[in-house]
Amino acid sequence: MTVIYLKDTLGRFILVNRRFETLFHVDRDELIGKTDYDIFSKEVAETFRDNDRRVLKTGTSLLGDRAVDATITRVEALNFWKSRLPLLTEFLNTCQM
């Protein structure tokens, strides 16, 4: 199952799917408006935020594979293909998916 989320330009979550909730043990209603720093360690959150900023600055996608250990998901180790891409909208300006 695919993990899907959207963030605004300040890195706040504006949407997450059920797989995100399950994998990271969060409730979407409690997560909306929060940042990576609210759910991950500082080191992990800084990596994610740096990637977010790169996508926002360049306006281009950031693709790659990534290994995630169980300390991040709190459940299972994962290997996945991750895509960060800018989503330009009339209403939200720019957000990320």
Domain map (residue ranges) of the chain: 5-96
Q: For 85, phi and psi rounded to 5 degrees?
A: -140, 145
pLDDT tens string 22-81:
888 889 999 999 999 998 888 888 888 888 888 888 877 777 655 444 445 454 444 444
Residue 81: predicted pLDDT:
46
Q: What is the DSSP string of 64-97?
A: EEEEE-HHHHSS--EEEEEEE-EEEETTTEEEE-
Q: Could you tell me the CATH superfamily of domain 5-96?
A: PAS domain (3.30.450.20)
- What pLDDT was estimated at residue 85? 60
What's the CA gap between 39 and 48, in Å, rounded?
Answer: 12
CB 36 within 8 A of CB 51: no
Task: State residue 9's pLDDT score.
Answer: 87
In the block, residue with structure tokens 């890195």: 11
